[in-house]
Amino acid sequence: MALTQFFYDEQIRRFLLQFTRVFSNFQVEYGRTEDNTAKALYRVPVRYGDATRQAQTIIQQNSANSLPSTPLMTFHVTNLNYARDRIQEPYYIEKQNVRQRLWDTESESYETTQGNAFTIEKLMPVPFDLEVNLDIWTSNTNQKLQLLEQLLTLFNPSLEIQSTENFIDWTSLSVMYLEQVTWSSRSIPMGTDDAIDIATLRFVMPIWISPPARVKKLGVVERIVASVFDGNGDMNNAIFDNDLLMGTRQKFTPYNYQTLLLGNQLQVLEPATIILNNDGVKVPSAPPSNLMWHTVIDLYGSLRNGISQVRLDNPYDNTVIIGTVSYHPTDDRFLLFTVDTDTTPQNTLLPSVNAIVDPQAKGPETVGGGGYGLPVAASGQRYLFINDTGSNSATDPGFAQAWRGTDGTPLVANTNDIVEYDGTRWNISFDSSLDSTVQYVTNANTSVQYRWAAGEWLKSYEGLYPEGEWSLVL
């Protein structure tokens, strides 16, 4: 009976797999292509096997009558030595508290809310030096020179490899050191000798072998709730009502900064920065700013890419637009914002509009081809106007003529109106001069949602959010 529980995490094997991937895509030149337009390149295979009879069998395709197939690279482990110069406190235990995202078993995906929390106790790993020989099998010197020239430039002085993507496993990182190059396996070629020549490269990888970690349920207080019921005994209302339990929270915006959402990018701005909305359905451009998101976020903690959230208060319907954020890969002034579509407003004007147009610049094509820039009028087509059609489009020259119905009925519509074709004539589906309520509609051509409020159409949730109207959830 074993004294310890069996475990096997394939740690050494993963390093060998990464070693294989390092040398798996090298090529040698074999003359030129059949049409003589380019060099003919051959990808050199790499296999695990000792440079003995086993590798020879592989090369000769398990047949004594087969001619050797070169070039080829094989590698094998020569030594696994205990690295005493890297010994650390063997009894040290590192504790880490981690929180999972909630897993939805139905959709088989992670939610944006917190799931289980754990404490991970990791024992000190054991240091070893893994020595591996790479044998380069070639039939002529030219092949050897081609491969060595590609390989040797990588190790100046070393090449970093990673055995796993586990973010809490620091032992997954290692480096490859090229220690020695043996030019040839033969001395003076004889006429009866095998034509195959072997060059050997010896590598050393300082690795760590970790014992199993201990995983426990997090033993600290995750949240404190004083009361979960309102005066009427309603729990749900008490939690979500802005004036009750969770609504007693105060929001603090760092230095009263603002945030500007354009497209999928969030920019942090000084409180004095003024953003003017452009007319119509256009959005402002990003103003110049040298504020970096790291300076804001580091005040409170660390941002986890793809998990941390930014929440934007929608002042028109008292909802919150939620999206996960991550640092921009090249510009720290911006966060990449991925909106949760379940939190975006629902369209109130249905169906979606086909496009946003200027009726004095474009119109539906005639059946014979009128050259007005839009498809031939068909029942159900809807357009959002950014200009007036005119007071009497039946007599106006130019594009206004295109908006007449088949019976000659003129279309008189104003800026911000939505018109719809019923098969005979164009009718006003949404009258901007009469409707002052908040409305939402999507442009089917671009899949962008727009909001009607305060007498103008703007993108529904893009724009400027001043202090107190946005928050970070790290």
**In a shared domain, residues 232 and 199:** no
- Mean pLDDT for 449-462 is 84
The strands making up 426-430's β-sheet, listed across from edge to edge, are: 355-357, 382-385, 418-421, 426-430
Query: Which pLDDT does position 135 carry in this prediction?
Result: 92
User: Residue 315: inside a domain, yes or no?
Assistant: no
Domain range holding 406?
355-437
Give the pair of three-digit tokens for residue 401.
Answer: 């003529």
Spell out a b/e string for 355-390, using b for 16 or more CB atoms within 10 Å of the CB, else e: bbbbbbebbbbeeeeeebebeebeeebbbbbbebbb
- Residues ≥6 apart with Cβ < 8 Å to 387: 358, 359, 360, 361, 415
**In a shared domain, residues 18 and 62:** yes
Which tens digit of pLDDT belongs to each residue from 83-97?
998 888 888 888 877
Which tens digit of pLDDT belongs to each residue from 45-82?
998 876 555 556 665 666 655 555 788 999 999 999 99
- Mean pLDDT for 336-362 is 87
Question: Residue type at 53?
Answer: R
Query: Which pLDDT does position 286 carry in this prediction?
Result: 63
Which tens digit of pLDDT belongs to each residue from 304-316?
888 888 888 887 7
**In a shared domain, residues 157 and 229:** no
Asked whether the beta carbons of 287 and 270 are under 8 A apart, the reply is no
Name the region of 283 (left: φ>0; alpha: ψ -120 to 50; beta: rest): beta
* pLDDT surpasses 80 at 243: no
**In a shared domain, residues 193 and 236:** no
**In a shared domain, residues 62 and 180:** yes
CA pair distance 155, 133, nearest whole angstrom: 15
Which residue, among 369, 347, 357, 371, has the nearest Cα to 426 in the 3D structure? Answer: 357
Give the best-scoring range by mean pLDDT among 231-240, 359-368, 408-417. Answer: 408-417
Lowest mean pLDDT segment, chosen from 27-31, 122-126, 399-403, 438-442: 399-403
**In a shared domain, residues 199 and 233:** no
Lowest mean pLDDT segment, chosen from 213-222, 309-318, 368-377, 438-447: 213-222
Torsion sign across C-alpha atoms 31, 34, 37, 42: negative
| Cis amide leading into 315 (omega within 30) | no
CA pair distance 187, 237, nearest whole angstrom: 87
Asked whether the beta carbons of 163 and 15 are under 8 A apart, the reply is yes
pLDDT band with cut points at 50, 70 and 90 for residue 298: confident
Which residue, among 282, 279, 326, has the nearest Cα to 302 in the 3D structure? Answer: 326
pLDDT band with cut points at 50, 70 and 90 for residue 200: very high
Which tens digit of pLDDT belongs to each residue from 99-136?
777 878 888 888 877 777 778 888 889 999 999 999 99
Query: Which pLDDT does position 132 carry in this prediction?
Result: 94
User: Residue 429: inside a domain, yes or no?
Assistant: yes
**In a shared domain, residues 42 and 116:** yes
**In a shared domain, residues 371 and 417:** yes
- Residues ≥6 apart with Cβ < 8 Å to 156: none
pLDDT band with cut points at 50, 70 and 90 for residue 343: confident
* Percent of the chain scoring above 70 in pLDDT: 78
User: Residue 263: inside a domain, yes or no?
Assistant: no
More confident residue, 391 or 246: 391
User: Residue 339: inside a domain, yes or no?
Assistant: no
Query: Which pLDDT does position 245 carry in this prediction?
Result: 47
**In a shared domain, residues 120 and 232:** no
Query: Which pLDDT does position 3 carry in this prediction?
Result: 46
Query: Which pLDDT does position 134 carry in this prediction?
Result: 93
User: Residue 424: inside a domain, yes or no?
Assistant: yes
More confident residue, 237 or 291: 291
Which tens digit of pLDDT belongs to each residue from 145-170?
999 999 998 898 888 888 777 777 77
**In a shared domain, residues 237 and 366:** no
Half-sphere exposure of 262 (CA within 13 A, CB side): 14
Query: Which pLDDT does position 76 carry in this prediction?
Result: 92
CA pair distance 260, 266, nearest whole angstrom: 6
Which residue, among 366, 80, 65, has the nearest Cα to 204 in the 3D structure? Answer: 80
Query: Which pLDDT does position 435 carry in this prediction?
Result: 84
* pLDDT surpasses 70 at 237: no
User: Residue 179: inside a domain, yes or no?
Assistant: yes
CA pair distance 44, 355, nearest whole angstrom: 54
User: Residue 280: inside a domain, yes or no?
Assistant: no
Residue with tokens 């398990």: 62
**In a shared domain, residues 62 and 192:** yes
Query: Which pLDDT does position 1 carry in this prediction?
Result: 40
Which tens digit of pLDDT belongs to each residue from 326-339?
999 888 888 999 98
Query: Which pLDDT does position 77 carry in this prediction?
Result: 93
* pLDDT surpasses 70 at 210: yes
* pLDDT surpasses 90 at 250: no
Query: Which pLDDT does position 63 carry in this prediction?
Result: 60
Which residue, among 300, 214, 221, has the nearest Cα to 257 in the 3D structure? Answer: 300
Query: Which pLDDT does position 406 carry in this prediction?
Result: 78
User: Residue 182: inside a domain, yes or no?
Assistant: yes
Mean of per-residue pLDDT scores for the chain:
79
- Mean pLDDT for 387-416 is 71
* Percent of the chain scoring above 90 in pLDDT: 13
Which residue, among 86, 178, 182, has the nearest Cα to 129 in the 3D structure? Answer: 86
CA pair distance 119, 414, nearest whole angstrom: 63
- Mean pLDDT for 280-296 is 68
- Mean pLDDT for 436-446 is 87
24 phi/psi in degrees, rounded to 5: -95, -5
Name the pTM for this structure: 0.43
Asked whether the beta carbons of 449 and 347 are under 8 A apart, the reply is yes
**In a shared domain, residues 242 and 137:** no
CA pair distance 246, 308, nearest whole angstrom: 20
Task: Provide the number of structural domains found in the chain.
Answer: 3
Can you give the CATH number for the domain in which 156 is found?
3.30.2000.40
